[in-house]
Amino acid sequence: MTTDKNDNQIEIIPSSEEPKPLIPATRDTIIHYLFGSVGNEDILRDFINAVLENDNLPLLRSVEMRNPFNPQKFITDKYTILDVKATSLTGEIFVVEFQRGDHPAFAERMLYYCCKTYSSQMSQGDEYTKLLPVIGIAVTTFIVEQIHDLPGIHNSFYLCSKQNHKVVFSDRMQMHVIEVVKEKIHLLNQLKPQLRGWVQFFYYAHQLSEVEMQTIIQDNPALQRAYEEYRRFNNDDEKRALDEAHQQYLHDVATKVEAGEIKGKMNMLMAILQARFNEVPSAIIESLEQRTDVIAFDSLGVLAATCSSLDEFAEALK
């Protein structure tokens, strides 16, 4: 109980609304806000330097964001890629991305963007020697299939000799993959302190209390500021609404892609059945139209091509 200025008693009823769960620090909206906002260059530089230091590479003096975070445009952005121009002894260009969904062509996609960034520097008549090195950095929340046998959280790749890995064909392109996953979190001590702190931030920020997180970030001012910005984002209703709108857009895109894939497989399956048996009963068509599993259509396609009769096919649909 308390009183107002007229000494009237006022009962204060505690809010029953539970605090909203924290958005994971690896969510694409958070990443672009943290690393892509003008004024956060020191946060971005510290993370990149953590990766470079862990691989015994020269550190950066400064970074320049080439595609700053734009909330209005970000809602319909499908990719979490940060195009960063860094100032160092060799003037590298960095392509930084965060991937939450396990994509079968992840390695090819990463290589494509790095190569595209490298080749886009050239204009007709330019000298090849003027091309700046490109360094790709990818943080994933899944085990990357192509490198699943490699130990450690941070693995780096160079253009080197198959016979002697110490012989580097060119240092103009390299790629770093950091897997922030449950299966590898016990390997944190293999990382140098700076990168270890960032991996812990990505993995634990939405799971641990502020007090617990302070023990992780207390020795790194840039990481402390990143965590403050992270909490500020989570406590801002407008920014959370931006994240929800972006996630809904991604869901809608995925739904449309899947629906189109199902329709394509359905049309192909119907073409096979019609070519083999002419008329397809409406009962079979209706049963197929109710199916939403893309993988199921693959096995049904095989069955449509090999079954001896429509009755056999219809029986398999039950």
Asked if residue 79 belongs to a domain, the reply is yes
57 vs 20: which has the higher pLDDT: 57
158 and 303 belong to one structural domain = no
Q: How far is CA 154 from CA 136, 145, 159, 273, in A?
A: 13, 15, 17, 50
Domain C-terminal end among 194, 210, 235: 235
**Segment (H or E) for 168:** strand 168-179
131 and 193 belong to one structural domain = yes
- Can you give the pTM of this predicted structure? 0.73
Please give the DSSP secondary-structure letter assigned to residue 141.
S
44 and 185 belong to one structural domain = yes
Please, which pLDDT band fits residue 74 given cuts at 50, 70 and 90?
low
Q: Report whether pLDDT(111) > 80.
A: yes
Structural contact between residues 140 and 132, judged by C-beta atoms closer than 8 angstroms: no
106 and 133 belong to one structural domain = yes
Average pLDDT over residues 157-184: 92
Could you tell me the two tokens for 40?
Answer: 């956060």
Range of the structural domain that residue 115 is part of: 28-235
CA–CA gap between residue 165 and residue 162 (Å, rounded): 6
pLDDT tens-digit readout, 202-227: 999 999 999 999 999 999 999 999 99
256 and 283 belong to one structural domain = yes
pLDDT of residue 2: 46
Domain C-terminal end among 181, 202, 235: 235
Fill in the amino acid letter for 139. V
68 and 172 belong to one structural domain = yes
Domains of the chain: total: 2
Asked if residue 241 belongs to a domain, the reply is no
Q: Report whether pLDDT(162) > 80.
A: yes
